[in-house]
Homo-oligomer: A and B are copies of this chain.
Amino acid sequence: MTGPQTTRRKRANGVESRQRILDATVEIAGERGYDGTSIAAVSAKCGLPASSIYWHFKDKDDLIAAVIERSFETWLKAVELPGDDAGTPLERVVLMAGNVARSLLAAPDFLRLGLMLALERRPTEPRGRAVFLQVRDISHRRIAGIITDLFPSLTEDEVQTLTTYAVAGADGLFVHREVQGESVDLVALFELHARLIHDAAARTAARAGR
């Protein structure tokens, strides 16, 4: 720390440069989308010349995909795993939803950029889009698992529908907050969402249980 601080830093530090580039890219791409993210803008924001970006990443596509991957991991770390014990199914579901909402507020880049990529349709799909869809498939399966655990009597089809509804609703609420701004209480909306889904599941399970 008090060592050769002037000598260190600068002059070949691959890992840090890579991070700097990713940091800059996530910021720009999260605001401007794929086409709106220019290598020159990334270069300006991270301070490294454009050619250095190409040392770390094959091309723009590769860079964006890397951003998606890293921001997914960041987000994963932000989602606290729910204590599997807790209380009633409703309580547990609401708790989980609140956690997810909070994680999205803390690390919104993944979903924000992902949704932008997902909405766009370009001749040659960016790799980042595939990464996003694939990664979000994991979330889908995980939620389906939770629902199955909580309501074992539901059919596979019913679970799938509820899961789709849960994920899509979350997307919509997230978009709403991104568009409408900080005044939106995302946690409350997510909890409402969870409650409605729980009720629907419970009612369906009850009906099915007969």
Contacts and interface: CB of A to CB of B under 8 A. Distances in A.
Contact of A161 (B168, B179, B192): B192
Counting every copy of the chain, the complex holds 4
A176 B36 CA distance: 23
A172 interface: yes
A32 interface: yes
Contacts of A95: none
Given A35-B33, A35-B35, A119 B179 contact: yes
B175 A189 contact: no
B115 A120 contact: no
Most chain-B CB neighbours within 10 Å: which of A161, A170, A173? A173
Given A33-B33, A133-B179, A168-B173, 6 more contacts: A33-B116, A33-B119, A112-B119, A119-B119, A119-B178, A196-B196
Interface of A: 31-36, 112, 115-116, 118-122, 133, 161, 164-165, 167-173, 175-176, 178-179, 184, 188-189, 192-193, 195-197, 199-200
